[in-house]
Amino acid sequence: MISRICIGFAALVALPLSAMAEVALDDLPGGTVWYFHADFERFRTTPAGQELDKWLRWEVYDEIEDELGIDLNKEVNQFTAFSDASNGAAIIIEGPLTKATQEKIMSMVADKESVEELESDGNGYYHVGDDEKSGAQSDPFEPFEDTAYFSFALQNKLLITGTEGYMQELLGNSGKVSGMGSHNGALMVLSANQSLVQAGMHVDGLIDEDDNGDWESNIVRNTEQAALLVADESGMLAIEAQLVSTDPKMAQGIAGIINGLIALQSFSTDIPAEVRDLIANTKVEINDNVLSINTVIDPDLVVSIINN
């Protein structure tokens, strides 16, 4: 039940991926396993983001407002989630959440779980779930499974964590994490002047030991981490993905496969002209064991693909 409630929080602002205008390495804890950041304020204000924002309003925001009475377009500016190997997961939702919205969220939680009210250095927060597991570390890929903490104590922020210690740390540091900065094994963080979405993860945590050894599983098994960036670039959506392989030969092999597919598709007469342009604009680069894929795409095309 806890996971469904907290996933519900995330779903309020999820893509069908001081305020953080973007995420930098210093904004993440040293043991980060995955992170996701979406800047909805930039969705509303950048030329490329506005096209996606219109889709979000039609397909997501309006439905949530009809069902819950919460206007995400006015109350949520940024959404940041990450999971630390030691402290578990945290979600930081930033924006001018009204008192009425806070009360609705409290009511949603109270309808499903008993709520315990707590305090740390004058900052109030709430606990829901299993008391016996409240000090346990969350599985980094299954956050808030048994217990969760949340707080509205910081201005224009909703904090959600899987452990009490993490909640107290965030409250004591104005929503920031400590022990930040460069470290061995740090995740890649891709950023741009007009970042819309940033994400990354240590892929080795997704490996299924019982997989059948197929092509896709071999790629995952030989990938250390991956990162994604979506940004506005002169009214177009610039998309960059990077993959760190365990072996430069594996990265070169993947690049060869992608380049081969790009070459084949560019000659197909069945592909619409705008899709062929997208393929033609896709660039694949190799730097030792790091594979980079870059493309620029018309946001109207993205919305068209999503709708179809």
Look up residue 218 and give its two tokens.
């071999």
User: In the prediction, which pLDDT does 207 show?
Assistant: 60
Average pLDDT over residues 285-289: 90
User: In the prediction, which pLDDT does 112 show?
Assistant: 74
Q: What does the DSSP assignment read for 227-238?
A: EEEEEEETTEEE
31 and 138 belong to one structural domain: yes
Look up residue 242 and give its two tokens.
């990077």
From 116, 139, 172, the end of a domain falls on: 172
What is the C-alpha separation between 27 and 20, in angstroms, rounded?
A: 9
Q: Which residue has the higher pLDDT, 152 or 33?
A: 152
Torsion-angle region of residue 2: left (phi > 0), alpha (psi -120 to 50) or beta? alpha
The answer to whether residue 61 is domain-embedded is yes
User: In the prediction, which pLDDT does 188 show?
Assistant: 86
Q: Which residue has the higher pLDDT, 63 or 184?
A: 63
214 and 113 belong to one structural domain: no
160 and 256 belong to one structural domain: no
102 and 65 belong to one structural domain: yes
Lowest mean pLDDT among 1-10, 18-27, 139-148, 266-275: 1-10
Using one digit for the tens of pLDDT, what is the confidence trace for 162-171?
889 889 999 9
The answer to whether residue 183 is domain-embedded is no
What is the C-alpha separation between 3 and 145, in angstroms, rounded?
A: 5
Q: Residue 183: pLDDT band by 50, 70, 90 thresholds? A: low
230 and 82 belong to one structural domain: no
Residue 22: pLDDT above 90?
A: no
167 and 276 belong to one structural domain: no
From 172, 204, 226, the end of a domain falls on: 172
Sheet holding 195-202, edge to edge: 115-120, 123-129, 147-151, 157-161, 88-94, 78-84, 32-39, 195-202, 223-233, 236-245, 290-297, 283-287
What is the C-alpha separation between 1 and 184, in angstroms, rounded?
A: 36
217 and 291 belong to one structural domain: yes
The answer to whether residue 32 is domain-embedded is yes
Element (H, E) at 296: strand 290-297
The answer to whether residue 182 is domain-embedded is no
DSSP state of 251: H
The answer to whether residue 150 is domain-embedded is yes
Look up residue 304 and give its two tokens.
């068209």
Q: Residue 8: pLDDT band by 50, 70, 90 thresholds? A: very low
Domain ranges, residue 35: 2-172
Spatial neighbors of 3 by CB under 8 A, at least 6 apart, are 142, 143, 144, 145
Average pLDDT over residues 145-167: 91
Q: Which residue has the higher pLDDT, 132 or 241?
A: 241
User: In the prediction, which pLDDT does 12 show?
Assistant: 44
CA dist 57 → 102, 130, 156 (Å): 21, 36, 21
101 and 241 belong to one structural domain: no
Q: What does pTM read for this prediction?
A: 0.83
Residue 52: pLDDT above 80?
A: yes
What is the C-alpha separation between 35 and 213, in angstroms, rounded?
A: 27
Across all residues in the chain, what is the average pLDDT? 81
Give the position of tokens 């022990």: 179
How large is the greatest C-alpha to C-alpha distance in the chain, in angstroms?
Answer: 66
144 and 237 belong to one structural domain: no
The answer to whether residue 162 is domain-embedded is yes
Domain count, the chain: 2
From 139, 172, 205, the end of a domain falls on: 172
303 and 263 belong to one structural domain: yes
255 and 291 belong to one structural domain: yes
Using one digit for the tens of pLDDT, what is the confidence trace for 187-238?
888 988 899 999 999 886 666 555 555 555 667 777 889 999 999 999 999 9
Average pLDDT over residues 256-283: 76
The answer to whether residue 22 is domain-embedded is yes
What is the C-alpha separation between 39 and 22, in angstroms, rounded?
A: 7
145 and 55 belong to one structural domain: yes
User: In the prediction, which pLDDT does 28 show?
Assistant: 85
Residue 184: pLDDT above 90?
A: no
The answer to whether residue 219 is domain-embedded is yes
Residues facing residue 118 across a β-bridge: 125
Residue 160: pLDDT above 90?
A: yes
* Half-sphere exposure at residue 116, Cβ-oriented, CA atoms within 13 angstroms: 12
